[in-house]
């Protein structure tokens, strides 16, 4: 199995980190003295907005076209927060003593806030599948930290790592929007939850395999 690992003080490889637009925005945020910990916490804000949007379609009959599209936008904003907090901290020289906590803990809340409401949109077994996916998402991070303790490396491998989960949710929301006139939007979200859970279980197996077959460095 291909290993995607980085030292404990390293970061996940993100292609967009090397783009001009990302560096320009990170530079501006650094100039404006925006703390990377604040950027990290903003991911929780966007996930709570996304959560409220989906739940509003279930409990208050809010326009699903608007809710699904804005939900997809919130997911992408969360990923941007995950990108820029690290860039401001490392490239911008604004590391803090508690940076690791702020970098990791908000992600656990963001995963739950994004995944769980999808189950309520689906209804029925979708609720259980969503909570299971949220739990599995937290477990992938737990396994990653166990791997870091055991081997001194973080394993960010998928097939359903954070960026993959967010991609599934984004595409599901956009496809569901197109399927609303046909009444298939809930089925799209149900399929997304099934795919996510299968991928998350595979991710857990993959990471535990890597951490048990890699010598401590």
Q: How many domains does the chain have?
A: 1
| Residue 112 in domain | yes
Question: What pLDDT score was predicted for residue 8?
Answer: 42
| Residue 217 in domain | no
Question: What pLDDT score was predicted for residue 91?
Answer: 81
Task: Compute the Cα dihedral for 186, 75, 115, 201 and give only its sign.
Answer: positive
Question: What pLDDT score was predicted for residue 153?
Answer: 76
Residue segments in the chain with a per-residue pLDDT below the cut of 70: 1-13, 152, 215-217
Cα 205 to Cα 34: distance, rounded to the nearest angstrom: 38
Question: What pLDDT score was predicted for residue 50?
Answer: 97
Q: What is the CATH number of the domain that holds 24?
A: 1.20.120.1760
Collapsing DSSP states into helix, strand and coil, what is residue 125?
A: helix
Question: What pLDDT score was predicted for residue 150?
Answer: 73
Question: How buried is 2 (Cβ within 10 angstroms: 0-12 exposed, 13-18 middle, 19+ buried)?
Answer: exposed
| Residue 184 in domain | yes
Question: What pLDDT score was predicted for residue 123?
Answer: 94
| Residue 117 in domain | yes
Residue 54: which domain range? 5-212
| Residue 186 in domain | yes
Assess contact for 75 and 169: CB atoms under 8 A. Answer: yes
Q: Could you count the other beta carbons within 10 Å of the beta carbon of residue 52?
A: 17
| Residue 108 in domain | yes
């Amino acid at each position: 199995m291909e290993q995607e690992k980085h030292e404990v003080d390293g970061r996940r490889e993100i292609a967009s980190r090397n783009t001009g637009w990302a560096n320009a925005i990170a530079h501006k945020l650094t100039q404006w003295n925006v703390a990377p910990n604040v950027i990290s916490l903003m991911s929780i804000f966007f996930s709570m907005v996304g959560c409220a949007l989906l739940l509003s379609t279930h409990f208050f009959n809010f326009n699903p076209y608007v809710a699904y599209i804005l939900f997809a936008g919130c997911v992408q904003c969360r990923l941007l927060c995950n990108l820029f907090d690290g860039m401001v901290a490392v490239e911008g020289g604004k590391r803090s003593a508690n940076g690791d906590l702020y970098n990791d803990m908000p992600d656990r809340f963001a995963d739950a806030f994004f995944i769980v409401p999808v189950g309520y949109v689906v209804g029925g077994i979708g609720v259980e599948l969503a909570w299971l996916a949220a739990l599995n998402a937290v477990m992938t991070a737990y396994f990653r930290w166990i791997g870091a303790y055991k081997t001194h490396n973080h394993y960010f491998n998928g097939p359903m790592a954070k960026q993959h989960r967010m991609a599934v949710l984004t595409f599901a929301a956009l496809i569901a929007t197109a399927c609303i006139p046909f009444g298939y939007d809930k089925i799209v979200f149900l399929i997304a939850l099934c795919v996510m859970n299968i991928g998350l279980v595979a991710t857990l197996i993959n990471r535990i395999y890597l951490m048990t077959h890699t010598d401590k460095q």
